Structures are given as structure tokens and as C-alpha cells.
Amino acid sequence: MSRNERSRSDARTVAGGAETSRPLPAEARPGTIIRAYGKFFDVAPRDGGPPLLSTVRGGLKRERRKTDLVAVGDRVMVTDLGGGEGQIERVEPRVRTLGRLARQTDDVEQVILANPDQALFLFAPREPTPHLRMLDRFLVLAESRQIPALIGVNKIDLDDPTPDGGSLAHALFDVYEAHYPVFYLSAATGEGVPALREALAGKITAVAGPSGVGKSSLLNRLDPEGARAVGALSVATGKGRHTTSATILRRIPGMSDTYVADTPGIRSLALHGVPPVELDAFFPEFRPYLGTCFYPDCTHLHEPGCAVQEAVAEGVIPRARYDSYAALRRGEPEE
């Protein structure tokens, strides 16, 4: 290999496209992208301190990639330029993404959130009435992207009793507890919030759920300082006002490297990129029975000798989860 060829080969390794081998300035320090405003990004230094309003170093911008160059959730190296401003020197390799194909393309990814460690799907026992088909879609999304999922049941203070002496919330959501952590919460009273904080510690958590379940109230309970409105970037920077991206990371006070992200765009991703023939693999209740049906290509809908349907009949697989799978497999709309 010639010196020029070796130079080109060593010039960069792609971390979702960003070059990583250029010597870093001695003062560069690790940070996390917590908000995007067009070409500006708020970077929270990993060692604490206020966010730096940062732009991307020119050399990075020249990289041609099939994904966003920088996205909320990216781990980066940033240089403090003073006055609350910074420069992003390097973007670290992404572990995973929540993303979709950009409009009018078939191979360019639009990243909603980079590097989510887990996802919290938030519902309520009532007000609004929970649509568990939506929750099942969210869980399929998480399973398909190998993102650990948590289920939060907020407004537990509004829970109703059931005729057997139990509660409506447990009657609806206990079916998930065999495979997912379920947290029964009240943003109003604080019930269950300490256990949830412990589960969030040290992670980036994507939060999603239908309108009205109290996402904002719960996030404000976790991060009281985050309740302030998003305003101008910084008077000191003189950059004016910019439109924020849909996803914003909020650091949880008193917890090292812990962020939550309200991800309103996640609903449109629920079955994105999940072929119907692979859907059964994303229901953990089904996994012990996959490959044991009479027909190798069993859809688990109508075939004789279906091990999944037999497990449903025996009560091993919950009927509600099977019905949800069947509706999703048939392409039926949410209830």
C-alpha cells in the first residue's frame, strides 16, 4: 500500500460515519448531545457543568454518510471554546438507534434517538383508556431493535378496584410482568417513582406513550428543573432563536450520566422494518414454541399442529397477547 493510500485508509474510521482517528485537542472532553437546533447542538459534558452550544468541526461535516451526522443521544468529544460555546470534534460509534428512512429515500436513516439503552412505555389504567395493542406495537419495536423495554403504568392514584378485590391496573398489565419490568406509578403522589429512578440510573431511556397518560408530569417529577420552557438558545451566544428537534434529552438531577428522552416520533416506527413472517420472534411468550409447529412456516393463525396455539389453549401463553399478535399479523388497525 502506498503512503497516500495508507494515509487515506488511516484518516478515519466510521462511527456511524464520523472520523475518529484525527488527533483530538488536549482539552476535548466527552459529552452527550441532548438537543439539536438545526446546525447547533447542546452538548452536556459527561463530567458535569452546563451544556455547551456547539457546532460540528468542518472536517466531520465533509463526511458522506447514510445516517444523520450528529443526533440527539450521540456520545461525542467536545472542546469548550468559552462563553458557553463548544466544538464537536468527534462522534463516537453508535450502539443502536431509533430511526426511520428519510422521506423520498430508501437507504438514508433519519435518527430519532441515538444510543438508547432502554425504552419506557408509559400508559395509564384510565383517563385515557389504555389501548394495549399500541403497547404491544411498542414492545415489538423494542424487541426488533434489541432495546430492553420497561412498562410504566402512571396515574395509579386513579386506579379502580375490580370485583375480585384486585385493581384495574394489575388486571390489565400483570400479563406483561413475566417478560418486562412493570412499574406502577403516580406522578401526582410520587408512588413508584424511586424504583423507576433506580431503573433509569446511568442510562439513556426513550419514553413513549399515548397523549394524556402524564408523560410530562412524570418527567417533571423526575427532573423538576426540566419543566422550564425551551426558549432562546443563549443570550450570550447571540445566535438567536432556533427550532428544536422533536427529541430532547433531559438529565436526571443527582444521577450520573442519566437521561430521559420524550420521543414523540416513536409511534410511527412501531412496526417499521418488521416483516410479518418475523413478528412471532418478537413476542417472548412465543419463543419456547417457535420451530416446534407441524408446519415449518406456520403463521400461528389457523394451521393444525401449531405449538403456539396449543400453548394458548392451555393457558401458558396469555390469550390477550396472542390476540394482539394475530391482529398485528393480519395488519388490523389499532383498537
For every residue of 110-140, DSSP letters joined together read EEEEES-SEEEEEE-SSSSPP-HHHHHHHHH
pLDDT band at 101 (very low <50, low <70, confident <90, very high): low
pLDDT at 263: 81
- The Cα diameter of the chain in Å comes to 79
Average pLDDT for 78-102: 90
Task: Give the pLDDT confidence of 176-223 residue by residue, as tens digits.
Answer: 999 999 999 999 999 999 999 999 999 999 999 988 999 989 988 988
pLDDT at 233: 37
pLDDT at 262: 82
Cα 167 → chain centroid: 29
pLDDT at 47: 85
pLDDT band at 281 (very low <50, low <70, confident <90, very high): very high
What is the share, in percent, of the chain residues with pLDDT greater than 70?
81
Distance CA 69, CA 17 (A): 7
* DSSP string for residues in 305-320: T-HHHHHHHTTSS-HH
Average pLDDT for 139-152: 95
Query: What is the arrangement of strands in the sheet containing 259-262, beginning at the earlier edge strand?
Result: 182-184, 149-153, 118-123, 204-208, 259-262, 248-251
Q: Give rounded-to-5 percent helix, strand, coil for the chain.
A: 25, 25, 50
Each residue of 260-289: b (16+ CB within 10 Å) or e?
A: bbbbebbeebbbeebeeeebbebbebbeeb
pLDDT at 249: 92
Average pLDDT for 31-45: 93
pLDDT at 257: 86
Handedness of CA 144, 146, 147, 150 (dihedral sign): positive
pLDDT at 161: 84
Distance CA 174, CA 62 (A): 51
- Range of lowest pLDDT (15-19, 117-121, 228-232): 228-232
Distance CA 144, CA 100 (A): 13
pLDDT at 2: 42
Residue 210, preceding bond cis, omega within 30 degrees?
A: no
Domains plus CATH for the chain?
Answer: 3-94 (2.40.50.140), 116-269 (3.40.50.300), 276-330 (1.10.40.50)
pLDDT at 235: 41
- Range of lowest pLDDT (79-88, 99-108, 255-264, 311-320): 99-108
Q: Residues with Cβ < 8 Å from 121, sequence gap 6 or more?
A: 135, 138, 139, 142, 149, 150, 151, 152, 208, 209
Distance CA 168, CA 90 (A): 49
More confident residue, 310 or 239: 310
- Range of lowest pLDDT (169-183, 241-255, 260-274): 241-255
pLDDT band at 244 (very low <50, low <70, confident <90, very high): very low
More confident residue, 109 or 242: 109
Distance CA 258, CA 147 (A): 16
pLDDT at 315: 96
pLDDT band at 1 (very low <50, low <70, confident <90, very high): very low
- Range of lowest pLDDT (94-108, 250-264, 310-324): 94-108
pLDDT band at 4 (very low <50, low <70, confident <90, very high): very low
pLDDT at 224: 73
More confident residue, 328 or 16: 328
| Continuous H helices in 181-271 | 193-200, 215-222
